[in-house]
Structure 1
């Protein structure tokens, strides 16, 4: 891909974020501590509280997925520019000796690899993929609501602190059911999020979006998303998506053999990018923790207002 220069970062803002707990690496990775880490954890508590509206079951998954499973939905052909792989040296002693006989690291800091073992794992690109993979072949006699959090990995053309990262934290809430059940879930989720955004005084605009396909104009999936939008992003400041609502139809149901009754299951998800929430909250409410809204309390109020249980 053509190199793109990263937008300039305000040094005053960068210093303020560092003061409250952000350590930034040019590779696009962020470390959190202190007030910013506590805010990240409160964000996640708020999102899991919202997931409780549907009594979503929590799951925990590893850092990577089998490439052959991920390719069931054509991920590697659609997003080769973003894929990040779990790689290691081939285990033969001759190969390891050749590695040790070399510089190990090049002058620029890159590992001086010799032969690599076959690559069979893709680092998690989105948290929800694990849910479809782990429930492979299951049949549901009622809508199923699941939630998970994972560190996700995507190669990007540039990185910006908290806004665009190579590894970031994603919380997702997923519904598996009939087409109507998924549509109801997504409609209620959007209403709940609108109320939540209002309570925490975060002005967001819902915009129609598409997934970041490679060479999108040549990809029929991108063209279909333009004709029949399935992705809507809650956008802060006109250009930063901090949450999204996604309707998959039966795409994952067909490819992961998931059924609702006698038909392929439909699915939909609500996704939150936690680091982007940190940017939006500190941009809107400042970097003094005393001025931050009570996210978990606001989420509890939304949940209570919807009856405290599944809608």
Structure 2
């Protein structure tokens, strides 16, 4: 397994809080991965959209109940002068590195947990005349029990391709998306296996979403090395179409997404092809060939 020392030599700047900075060869490889995934998105003429860093908590009620252990909130101090003075006159940060907060303002925003949530909110109320495809890249935030460089992080980059359409259109999209991912992975010699998966729900024994994923297998992960999910294919049926009043073909729209974790792809490529960038595959050429077939 490729370790921290080797990755640091390639341009990883690792923070024990579970965050990574990149420079040099790894930054160039990350740019190449994202270009490749955008090329894959071009197969569906997916429209590029960019979104803020946060989402309104009011739009994520179900997510907050399902994954409270993973959520990062955007918090700020109560702006009252006395509260700000109490903070400024206090230790501010204690010996353990913990911020000595005084009163906080109401928390209304959540740092992005998954890129696709922005897409559904942005297309709220739309009446789709045809299947709609969107691609976006977001910095995502998920708290974990422990962190591993490039493999499991608090913050990470996610590139997604999202389909909004009928049940048939979203199912067809996912079939082709998985095939396209297989082609690309094969061309860059990063073997993956598609595995039915369930999200790490809070209290899964009593959560209906956990049971649904087990029965209907609505989430599949592209797994490298037996344990590292490089991406996922997700079918949401009409869950988000109903939540955001999006329709297609006279009924609630179905949605599906293909998600790539950029840092995890970096890890897999280095682990598979070694520490010399000269031996790394041509990602642009591989993506073009994957789409051309």
Post-superposition Cα deviations, 1:60-104, rounded to whole Å, max 9, x if no partner, equal 011100001122xx0110000001000000000010011011111
User: Pairwise CA RMSD of aligned residues?
Assistant: 0.9
TM-score by length of 2: 0.99
Counterpart position of 1:128: 116
TM-score, structure 1 normalization: 0.93
Measured in 2, the distance between the counterparts of 1:134 and 1:212 equals: 26
SS of equivalent to 1:136:
coil
May I ask how many residue pairs the two structures share in their alignment? 293
Partner of 2:85: 97
1:309 paired residue number: none
Secondary structure of the 1:173 match is strand
The separation in 1 between residues aligned to 2:59 and 2:125, in whole angstroms, is 12
| Cross-structure match for 2:239 | 251
2:48 to 54, 58, 64: 58
In the alignment, the residues of structure 2 paired with residue 98 and residue 14 of structure 1 have an alpha-carbon distance, to the nearest angstrom, of: 41
The partner residue of 1:23 within 3, 13, 24 is 13
Unaligned runs of 5+ in 2: none
Q: Is 2:209 the counterpart of 1:205? A: no
Instruction: Tell me which of 41, 59, 70 is aligned to 1:69.
Output: 59
* Residue 219 (structure 2) pairs with residue 231 (structure 1): yes
Counterpart CA distance in 2 for 1:303 and 1:206 is 20
Please, which runs of 5 or more residues in structure 1 have no aligned partner? 1-9, 306-311
Distance, in Å, in 2 between the alignment partners of 1:55 and 1:101 is: 55
Name the residue aligned to 1:192: 180
CA offsets, 1:240-281, max 9 Å, x none? 000111101001000011110320000000000000001100
Distance in 1 between the 2:124 and 2:80 partners? 34
User: Which residue does 1:221 correspond to in 2?
Assistant: 209
Moved over 2 A (4+): none
Matches of 1:156 and 1:178, distance apart in 2: 35
SS in 2 for 1:145: strand
Secondary structure of 1:175's counterpart equals: strand
